[in-house]
């Protein structure tokens, strides 16, 4: 699945930018609070407005402090998937359950330097694992291939039946990196500048999807 990131879109025309990728699977919404990461983007009111402006499922990635308090509100606002960072959460299991009760899938994200092994048991409470392939906080960064062993580990546990979740990657995903992520076992790909920096965002979505599928079946 391809999830274009509106972090790379024109914030003055978000409804139009969502329409420009209406062939995507999810629309990725980066929420940053200038505390957990050194950048400030958009928050709950914009998500509520986007929900009215597009039929695409909203994939909200919360790069914020205290997600235990704030994450369920994004599910209540109509997000399809709400992901928060394990590094910021005090009680990830209870937060995941609150997100699910509010009607969304629950996602857990790990930064590049955070090992996955300590959270494999916790991940049984989640629907999505988001492996950051850049340091969170800014778009347009270079893909970090050294984190792909975490993707492989997650996929091994899914194949073995220990976990049932989407394995999502976010950061530096483009024509020259998506195949490596797909081969490692990712099945949801967040792409920002590779989509919104293209002359034809819809065509860029299709091209990325084709490359990922080719890598998965090749």
Active-site amino acid positions:
30, 170
For 11, counting Cβ atoms within 10 Å of its Cβ (0-12 exposed, 13-18 middle, 19+ buried), the class is exposed
Rounded Cα gap, residues 24 and 7, in angstroms: 15
Rounded Cα gap, residues 115 and 11, in angstroms: 34
Structure tokens at 6: 């509106």
Please give the order of strands across the beta sheet that includes 27-32.
2-4, 188-191, 166-170, 128-132, 105-110, 81-85, 58-63, 27-32
- Concatenating the DSSP letter of every residue in 46-85 gives HHHHHHHH--SPEEEEEE-S-HHHHHHHHHHTT-SEEEEE
Rounded Cα gap, residues 218 and 96, in angstroms: 35
């Amino acid at each position: 699945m391809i999830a274009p990131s509106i972090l790379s879109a024109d914030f003055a025309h978000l409804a139009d930018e969502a329409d420009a990728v209406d062939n995507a699977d999810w629309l990725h919404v980066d929420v940053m609070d200038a505390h957990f990461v050194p950048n400030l983007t958009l928050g709950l009111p914009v998500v509520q407005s986007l929900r009215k402006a597009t039929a695409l499922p909203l994939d909200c990635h919360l790069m914020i402090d205290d997600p235990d308090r704030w994450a369920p509100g994004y599910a209540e606002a109509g997000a399809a998937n709400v992901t928060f960072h394990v590094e910021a959460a005090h009680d990830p299991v209870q937060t995941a359950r609150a997100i699910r009760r509010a009607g969304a899938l629950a996602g857990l994200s790990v930064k590049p330097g955070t090992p996955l092994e300590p959270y494999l048991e916790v991940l049984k409470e989640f629907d999505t694992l988001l492996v950051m392939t850049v340091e969170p906080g800014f778009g347009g960064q270079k893909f970090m291939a050294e984190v792909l062993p975490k993707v492989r580990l997650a996929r091994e546990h899914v194949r073995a039946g220990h976990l049932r979740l989407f394995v999502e990657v976010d950061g530096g995903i483009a024509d020259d990196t998506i195949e490596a992520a797909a081969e490692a076992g990712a099945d949801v790909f967040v792409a920002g500048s590779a989509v919104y920096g293209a002359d034809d965002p819809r065509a860029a979505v299709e091209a990325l999807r084709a490359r990922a599928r080719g890598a998965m079946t090749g």
